[in-house]
Amino acid sequence: MKLTLGFSPCPNDTFIFDALIHHKIDTEGLDFEVCFDDVETLNQKALKGELDITKLSFHAFAYVANQYALLDAGSALGFGVGPLLISKNHFDGENDSRLLTPSSKLRVGIPGKYTTANFLLGIAYPQLQNKQEMVFSDIESALLEDRIDLGLIIHENRFTYQDKGLTKIVDLGNYWEKLTGCAIPLGGIVINKNLDRDIQLKVNRLVRQSVEFAFAHPKSGLAFIRQHAQAMDEAVMYKHIELYVNKYSINLGEEGRKAVDTLFTLAQERNIIPAIQEQLYI
């Protein structure tokens, strides 16, 4: 049986899925047709129900919980891994009136409407509404060219922005951790609820085995990871992986589910997402 599978070309995702799609583990009769896209494109495909299994932002998951269930395996949660709000200019993240005024006209580059990064920005700075959606890798150059005033960065840009003379305003991951005490839920792996329950459980089991294989053989997928990592330095690739692939990627567990539930509860209370009635988890 062949299933469509979407994930990003970022090192954390290619690290997780290498063993699965290259049959380094027993896939129990399943094959996967892989679609590589940036996270916001994957979010949009999930909103249209295009893929059987896909990585997506937890923000987007709030809008497709009627159609997709969250796997216990494959998620990106953690401490110290949140998106950063950066600028070419200095801002006081806690007290700067330019950030805090309800009528702020600051132009903010975001990596997509349905990204968890934008989700957190809405919780921390609801007054920043002048947003421009762009591919995450273009945000730094947009700041340097003064096309935007603020940039919301994710992924490997966490490691490169300072080299370009850009300045951190606030770490939204730290903001979240202080607010809730929970790990920050960034992205998860979901599966279409129309698939047979046995298939859903099998996919969950296989993704977990793929993550476990990657941890046991961290260099096994190096060529595959490098192929999709946009000429990223190997040390940066593995820093990226260490940040986003951890115990929650093997199994959400009680702590991981609490973090996801807290995120959705806060967002619903602040009218950032609609009320969710559906069962979230596989």
Q: Which residues contact 244 (CB under 8 A, 6 or more apart)?
A: 10, 12, 76, 78, 81, 186
Determine whether 155 is an active site residue.
Answer: yes
Integer Cα distance of 89 and 104 in angstroms: 16
CA distances from 160 to 137, 157, 209, 230, 254 (A): 11, 5, 32, 13, 34
57 in a labelled binding site = yes
Q: Are residues 170 and 188 in the same domain?
A: no
Q: Are residues 57 and 42 in the same domain?
A: yes
Q: Are residues 36 and 161 in the same domain?
A: no
55 in a labelled binding site = yes
Query: Of the residues 147, 180, 213, which one is the last residue of a structural domain?
Result: 180
Q: Are residues 55 and 192 in the same domain?
A: yes
Query: Of the residues 180, 212, 237, which one is the last residue of a structural domain?
Result: 180
* Partner residues linked to 37 by β-bridges: none
Query: Of the residues 149, 180, 211, which one is the last residue of a structural domain?
Result: 180
Q: Are residues 88 and 176 in the same domain?
A: yes
Q: Are residues 41 and 175 in the same domain?
A: no
pTM: 0.86
Expressed as residue numbers, the domain containing 39 is: 2-78+184-269
160 in a labelled binding site = no
Residue 277 lies in a domain: no
CATH classification at residue 175: 3.40.190.10
Residue 209 lies in a domain: yes
Question: Of residues 22, 59, 90, 155, which has the active-site annotation?
Answer: 155
Integer Cα distance of 271 and 154 in angstroms: 24
User: Each residue's pLDDT tens digit in the chain (282 positions)?
Assistant: 999 999 999 999 999 999 999 999 999 999 999 999 988 899 999 999 999 999 999 989 999 999 999 999 999 998 888 899 999 999 888 888 888 888 789 999 998 888 888 989 988 898 999 999 998 889 999 999 999 999 999 877 777 899 899 999 999 989 999 999 999 999 999 999 999 999 999 999 999 999 999 999 999 999 999 999 876 788 888 888 998 999 999 999 999 999 999 999 988 988 888 888 889 999
Query: Are 41 and 134 spatial neighbours (Cβ–Cβ below 8 Å)?
Result: no
117 in a labelled binding site = yes
Cβ neighbour number for residue 136 with a 10 Å cutoff? 25
